[in-house]
Amino acid sequence: MATSTSSETEKKGLGRLKGKRCLVTAAAQGIGRTTVETFIREGASLVVAVDINAEKLEELRAFSVVDIRVLDVRDGVAIHKLAEELDALDVLFNCAGYVQAGNILETSEERWDYSFDVNVKSMFHFIKAFLPKMIAAGGGSIINMSSVASTIRGIEARCVYGTTKAAVIGLTKGVARDFVQKGIR
Protein backbone atom coordinates (compact mmCIF):
# COMPACT_ATOMS: atom_id res chain seq x y z
CA MET A 1 0.00 0.00 0.00
CA ALA A 2 1.36 3.42 -0.92
CA THR A 3 2.22 5.76 1.95
CA SER A 4 1.53 9.46 1.44
CA THR A 5 4.52 11.75 1.15
CA SER A 6 5.06 14.56 3.68
CA SER A 7 4.03 17.26 1.21
CA GLU A 8 0.82 15.40 0.22
CA THR A 9 -0.11 14.91 3.88
CA GLU A 10 0.54 18.54 4.79
CA LYS A 11 -1.39 19.90 1.76
CA LYS A 12 -4.92 18.62 2.36
CA GLY A 13 -7.27 18.94 5.33
CA LEU A 14 -9.58 21.53 6.86
CA GLY A 15 -7.33 22.83 9.59
CA ARG A 16 -9.44 21.29 12.34
CA LEU A 17 -6.37 20.79 14.53
CA LYS A 18 -4.63 24.03 13.63
CA GLY A 19 -1.96 24.77 16.20
CA LYS A 20 -2.83 21.75 18.38
CA ARG A 21 -0.21 19.70 20.18
CA CYS A 22 -0.93 15.96 19.96
CA LEU A 23 0.55 12.62 21.03
CA VAL A 24 -0.27 9.27 19.43
CA THR A 25 0.83 5.84 20.70
CA ALA A 26 1.24 2.88 18.31
CA ALA A 27 2.19 5.55 15.79
CA ALA A 28 4.43 3.43 13.58
CA GLN A 29 1.71 1.55 11.69
CA GLY A 30 -2.01 0.83 11.33
CA ILE A 31 -4.58 3.11 12.95
CA GLY A 32 -1.95 5.03 14.92
CA ARG A 33 0.11 5.81 11.83
CA THR A 34 -2.96 6.91 9.86
CA THR A 35 -3.97 9.11 12.79
CA VAL A 36 -0.55 10.79 12.84
CA GLU A 37 -0.90 11.60 9.14
CA THR A 38 -4.47 12.84 9.64
CA PHE A 39 -3.45 15.07 12.56
CA ILE A 40 -0.69 16.58 10.39
CA ARG A 41 -3.13 17.12 7.53
CA GLU A 42 -5.52 18.87 9.91
CA GLY A 43 -2.86 21.38 10.92
CA ALA A 44 -1.44 20.07 14.22
CA SER A 45 1.64 22.03 15.23
CA LEU A 46 3.17 19.02 17.01
CA VAL A 47 2.52 15.28 16.76
CA VAL A 48 4.55 13.21 19.21
CA ALA A 49 4.73 9.76 17.60
CA VAL A 50 5.31 6.99 20.17
CA ASP A 51 6.00 3.37 19.29
CA ILE A 52 8.35 0.54 20.20
CA ASN A 53 9.25 -0.05 16.54
CA ALA A 54 12.12 2.37 15.90
CA GLU A 55 12.60 1.40 12.27
CA LYS A 56 9.02 2.06 11.20
CA LEU A 57 8.82 5.24 13.28
CA GLU A 58 11.75 6.60 11.27
CA GLU A 59 9.44 6.80 8.23
CA LEU A 60 7.66 9.66 10.01
CA ARG A 61 10.81 11.75 10.28
CA ALA A 62 9.97 13.34 6.90
CA PHE A 63 7.20 15.33 8.61
CA SER A 64 8.50 18.51 10.21
CA VAL A 65 5.92 18.60 13.01
CA VAL A 66 6.51 14.99 14.12
CA ASP A 67 8.57 14.31 17.24
CA ILE A 68 9.58 10.63 17.18
CA ARG A 69 9.82 8.82 20.52
CA VAL A 70 10.80 5.16 20.72
CA LEU A 71 9.17 3.95 23.87
CA ASP A 72 7.52 0.83 25.32
CA VAL A 73 4.06 1.88 26.53
CA ARG A 74 4.51 -0.49 29.50
CA ASP A 75 7.37 1.69 30.78
CA GLY A 76 5.76 4.04 33.30
CA VAL A 77 9.04 5.73 34.21
CA ALA A 78 9.80 6.62 30.58
CA ILE A 79 6.24 7.91 30.07
CA HIS A 80 6.45 10.23 33.08
CA LYS A 81 9.88 11.45 31.93
CA LEU A 82 8.42 12.26 28.49
CA ALA A 83 5.55 14.20 30.10
CA GLU A 84 8.03 16.25 32.13
CA GLU A 85 9.96 17.12 28.95
CA LEU A 86 6.96 18.28 26.92
CA ASP A 87 4.68 21.29 27.30
CA ALA A 88 0.93 20.62 27.67
CA LEU A 89 -0.81 18.52 25.02
CA ASP A 90 -4.20 19.35 23.50
CA VAL A 91 -4.80 15.76 22.33
CA LEU A 92 -3.61 12.48 23.81
CA PHE A 93 -4.49 9.41 21.72
CA ASN A 94 -3.81 6.16 23.57
CA CYS A 95 -3.95 3.84 20.56
CA ALA A 96 -1.50 1.06 21.49
CA GLY A 97 -3.07 -2.36 21.87
CA TYR A 98 -2.16 -6.00 21.57
CA VAL A 99 -4.45 -8.81 20.39
CA GLN A 100 -3.99 -12.03 22.38
CA ALA A 101 -5.80 -14.96 20.76
CA GLY A 102 -7.45 -17.72 22.76
CA ASN A 103 -10.26 -18.57 25.12
CA ILE A 104 -9.79 -18.39 28.90
CA LEU A 105 -8.45 -21.96 29.13
CA GLU A 106 -5.80 -21.15 26.55
CA THR A 107 -4.73 -17.87 28.21
CA SER A 108 -1.76 -18.05 30.58
CA GLU A 109 -1.41 -15.69 33.53
CA GLU A 110 1.67 -14.21 31.86
CA ARG A 111 -0.33 -13.40 28.67
CA TRP A 112 -3.17 -12.02 30.80
CA ASP A 113 -0.79 -9.64 32.59
CA TYR A 114 0.99 -8.66 29.36
CA SER A 115 -2.33 -7.83 27.68
CA PHE A 116 -3.43 -5.67 30.59
CA ASP A 117 -0.04 -3.93 30.72
CA VAL A 118 -0.09 -2.99 27.00
CA ASN A 119 -3.81 -2.34 26.59
CA VAL A 120 -4.85 -0.78 29.90
CA LYS A 121 -2.00 0.05 32.28
CA SER A 122 -0.24 1.98 29.51
CA MET A 123 -3.28 4.31 29.40
CA PHE A 124 -3.19 4.66 33.18
CA HIS A 125 0.44 5.82 32.91
CA PHE A 126 -0.11 8.18 29.95
CA ILE A 127 -3.19 9.82 31.44
CA LYS A 128 -1.63 10.22 34.87
CA ALA A 129 1.51 11.69 33.34
CA PHE A 130 -0.07 14.14 30.88
CA LEU A 131 -3.34 15.13 32.58
CA PRO A 132 -1.94 17.66 35.11
CA LYS A 133 -0.43 19.93 32.43
CA MET A 134 -3.55 19.51 30.27
CA ILE A 135 -5.73 20.71 33.15
CA ALA A 136 -3.35 23.57 33.93
CA ALA A 137 -3.57 24.68 30.29
CA GLY A 138 -7.38 24.82 30.46
CA GLY A 139 -8.36 21.43 28.98
CA GLY A 140 -7.84 18.91 26.22
CA SER A 141 -9.02 15.68 24.62
CA ILE A 142 -8.05 12.16 25.60
CA ILE A 143 -8.91 9.33 23.21
CA ASN A 144 -8.55 5.75 24.43
CA MET A 145 -8.79 2.98 21.82
CA SER A 146 -11.25 0.26 22.77
CA SER A 147 -12.93 -2.32 20.49
CA VAL A 148 -16.29 -3.88 19.75
CA ALA A 149 -14.76 -7.01 21.33
CA SER A 150 -16.51 -7.43 24.70
CA THR A 151 -17.81 -3.88 24.81
CA ILE A 152 -20.59 -4.59 22.31
CA ARG A 153 -20.44 -8.35 21.87
CA GLY A 154 -18.29 -11.31 22.85
CA ILE A 155 -15.78 -12.31 20.19
CA GLU A 156 -14.65 -15.90 19.86
CA ALA A 157 -11.14 -16.65 21.14
CA ARG A 158 -10.44 -13.09 22.27
CA CYS A 159 -11.05 -13.57 25.99
CA VAL A 160 -8.34 -11.39 27.54
CA TYR A 161 -8.30 -8.94 24.62
CA GLY A 162 -12.02 -8.28 25.06
CA THR A 163 -11.61 -7.99 28.81
CA THR A 164 -8.93 -5.33 28.43
CA LYS A 165 -11.02 -3.38 25.93
CA ALA A 166 -13.99 -3.39 28.33
CA ALA A 167 -11.60 -2.05 31.00
CA VAL A 168 -10.63 0.77 28.63
CA ILE A 169 -14.27 1.91 28.56
CA GLY A 170 -14.38 1.92 32.37
CA LEU A 171 -11.15 3.90 32.57
CA THR A 172 -12.38 6.41 30.01
CA LYS A 173 -15.70 7.00 31.76
CA GLY A 174 -14.02 7.29 35.14
CA VAL A 175 -11.54 9.92 33.95
CA ALA A 176 -14.27 11.79 32.07
CA ARG A 177 -16.51 11.92 35.14
CA ASP A 178 -13.71 13.16 37.38
CA PHE A 179 -12.27 15.81 35.05
CA VAL A 180 -15.00 16.96 32.63
CA GLN A 181 -15.48 20.14 34.64
CA LYS A 182 -11.81 20.94 34.17
CA GLY A 183 -12.18 20.93 30.38
CA ILE A 184 -11.12 17.33 29.78
CA ARG A 185 -13.13 15.56 27.08
Ligand X SMILES: NC(=O)c1ccc[n+]([C@@H]2O[C@H](COP(=O)([O-])OP(=O)(O)OC[C@H]3O[C@@H](n4cnc5c(N)ncnc54)[C@H](O)[C@@H]3O)[C@@H](O)[C@H]2O)c1
Residues 58-77 that bind ligand X (CB under 6 A): 72-74
Q: Which residue number, 14 or 156, has a Cβ lying nearer to ligand X?
A: 156
Does 140 participate in binding ligand X (rule CB under 6 A)?
A: no
Minimal distance, residue 121 CB to ligand X, in Å: 10
| Active-site residue identified among 161, 167, 171, 184 | 161
Over 68-120, what HEC string results?
A: EEECCCCCHHHHHHHHHHCCCCCEEEECCCCCCCECHHHCCHHHHHHHHHHHH
Which part of the chain contacts ligand X (CB under 6 A), choosing from 10-18, 22-30, 129-137, 172-180? 22-30
Does 97 participate in binding ligand X (rule CB under 6 A)?
A: yes
Determine which residue in the list 22, 26, 46, 159 makes contact with ligand X, applying CB under 6 A: 26
Does 31 participate in binding ligand X (rule CB under 6 A)?
A: yes
Q: Which residues contact 96 (CB under 8 A, 6 or more apart)?
A: 25, 26, 32, 50, 51, 73, 118, 119, 122, 145
- The C-alpha angle 32, 38, 40, rounded to 5 degrees, equals 105
Q: Which residues are catalytic?
A: 161
Chain positions contacting ligand X, by CB under 6 A: 26, 28-32, 51-53, 72-74, 95-98, 118, 145, 147
